[in-house]
């Protein structure tokens, strides 16, 4: 939500739904830029090195949603529509204790149902819940998507419409490829891959939740009335493309270790401490070269965690006895995603050829059933996205 004008706009949509006889629960996010500003205030004061500081982080950054929820309820009331706002803790939407990236434990729906029964529009502050200790917790950036889908699942809503500042899910980022096309439908699984691979349309967890609970979810623009993108089951996509979309992420860093003894337990010794440090390792490649029998391991982490990861690895030198440690923060990942890969072969080779034709060097490759990802030099990321988008026939005519 951007500003007061957009709040009025949302109120208008709520009215339309209500006029059609629908009960409406609205989950709001903060107004544009507000959460970033709040995070900025916190970071000016604290390096966020303690659990207590994250607790206060949540107290501060959750406030943006609370403001919008009250303003939207007020706007509706002014229009003669009965509405009531709820903070996460007032529902209550219960979370675990992981401040800053809490997971939803349960949602009490009685209070909301009571309001709906009285024909009151329920306005919920997204992105937040309450911990077992009774503190406010936030669900991680973009978390209001997850609040919305979770509420839709609990209330068994007919539909969950997510209004964003893009008007749907595109074959790739339209800012990089103007010929990108809006998808009328995308399967949950593809959306999950696209979201976790860097497409910033929906929070990854919201997609996971929509998929697991079969929530009919639609991504729409808050600015226009055009149809958006519907998330559906794989079977509901009639004509499967080989590749549905190209995702990319600049938030990558590479760490490589050479000359690790090729004996059982080395990878566990490396990755367990990284996991314990809360570092999310993404791509992993291990390779044994003939000869001295030593192995090389390369992996990637979010760029923001790179320095911490390197520290952890340096601390493991006495155990792992690696020969050398290299890192590179100027890398990026580009991925081709599509359920069509299950039935078509040659997608990976076509991808490598398209990159080769542009002279782009591939550093790491990983694949799953429905995606191929490659790590490349960050400098070439836009070129790579464009090349792959047209190589897989995704450009709009
Ligand atoms: N306001 C929060 C954020 O910016 C949650 C959301 O927008 O979904 O991350
Ligand atoms: Mg969002």
pLDDT over 90 at 145, yes or no: yes
For residue 127, which atom of ligand 1 is closest to its CA?
5
> Helices marked H in 131-265 — which ranges?
143-154, 188-196, 204-213
Bond preceding residue 92 cis, omega within 30 of 0: yes
- Minimum CA distance residue for ligand 1 atom 6: 142
Least confident among 40-54, 62-76, 235-249, 378-392: 235-249
The domain limits of the chain are 4-233, 246-391
From the CA of 145, how far away is ligand 2's center (Å)?
A: 6
Of the listed ligands, the closest to the CA of 200 is 2
Q: Is the CB of 35 under 6 A from ligand 1?
A: yes
Q: Is the CB of 338 under 6 A from ligand 1?
A: no
Q: Which CATH class is domain 4-233?
A: alpha beta
Q: Is the CB of 145 under 6 A from ligand 1?
A: yes
Q: Is the CB of 64 under 6 A from ligand 1?
A: yes
pLDDT over 60 at 2, yes or no: no
The neighbour count for residue 388, using CB atoms within 10 Å, is 27
From the CA of 70, how far away is ligand 1's center (Å)?
A: 16
**Which residue in the block uniquely carries the two structure tokens 């675990």?**
96
In 3D space, the residue among 324, 330, 331, 334 whose CA is nearest the CA of residue 355 turns out to be 334
**Across 43-68, average pLDDT:** 96
In 3D space, the residue among 157, 139, 140 whose CA is nearest the CA of residue 149 turns out to be 157
From the CA of 185, how far away is ligand 2's center (Å)?
A: 19
- Distance of alpha carbon 194 from alpha carbon 328, whole angstroms: 24
**Across 227-232, average pLDDT:** 93
- Minimum CA distance residue for ligand 1 atom 8: 142
CATH superfamily label, 246-391: VC0802-like (3.30.2130.10)
- Distance of alpha carbon 255 from alpha carbon 329, whole angstroms: 9
| pTM, two decimal places | 0.86
Q: Do the domains at 4-233 and 246-391 have one common CATH topology?
A: no
């Amino acid at each position: 939500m951007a500003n007061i004008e957009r709040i009025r706009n949302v109120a208008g949509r709520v009215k339309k739904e209500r006029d059609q006889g629908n009960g409406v629960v609205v989950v709001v996010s903060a107004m544009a830029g507000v959460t970033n500003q709040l995070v900025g205030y916190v970071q000016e004061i604290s390096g966020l090195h303690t659990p207590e500081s994250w607790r206060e982080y949540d107290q501060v950054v959750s406030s943006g949603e609370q403001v919008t929820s009250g303003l939207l309820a007020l706007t509706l009331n002014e229009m003669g529509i009965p509405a009531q706002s709820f903070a996460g803790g007032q529902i209550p939407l219960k979370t675990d204790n992981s401040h800053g990236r809490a997971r939803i434990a349960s949602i009490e729906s009685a209070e909301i149902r009571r309001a709906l029964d009285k024909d009151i529009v329920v306005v919920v502050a997204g992105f937040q819940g309450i911990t077992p200790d009774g503190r406010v917790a936030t669900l991680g950036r973009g978390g209001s998507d997850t609040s919305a889908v979770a509420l839709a699942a609990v209330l068994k809503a007919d539909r969950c419409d997510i209004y964003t500042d893009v008007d749907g899910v595109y074959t790739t980022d339209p800012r990089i490829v103007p010929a990108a096309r809006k998808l009328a439908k995308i399967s949950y699984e593809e959306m999950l891959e696209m979201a976790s691979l860097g497409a910033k349309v929906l929070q990854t967890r919201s997609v996971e939740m929509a998929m697991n609970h079969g929530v009919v979810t639609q991504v729409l623009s808050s600015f226009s009335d055009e149809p958006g993108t519907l998330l559906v089951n794989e079977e509901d996509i009639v004509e499967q493309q080989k590749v549905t979309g190209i995702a990319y992420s600049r938030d990558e860093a590479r760490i490589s270790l050479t000359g690790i003894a090729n004996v059982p337990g080395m990878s566990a010794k490396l990755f367990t401490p990284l996991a314990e440090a809360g570092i999310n390792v993404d791509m992993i490649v291990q390779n044994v070269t003939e000869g001295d029998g030593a192995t090389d391991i390369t992996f990637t982490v979010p760029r923001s965690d790179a320095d911490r990861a390197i520290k952890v690895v340096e601390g493991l030198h006495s155990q792992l006895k690696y020969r050398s440690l290299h890192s590179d923060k100027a890398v990026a990942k580009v991925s081709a995603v599509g359920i069509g890969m299950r039935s078509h072969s040659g997608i990976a080779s076509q991808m490598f050829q398209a990159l080769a034709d542009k002279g782009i060097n591939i550093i790491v490759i990983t694949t799953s059933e429905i995606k191929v990802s490659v790590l490349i030099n960050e400098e070439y990321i836009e070129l790579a996205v464009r090349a792959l988008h047209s190589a897989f026939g995704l450009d709009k005519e």
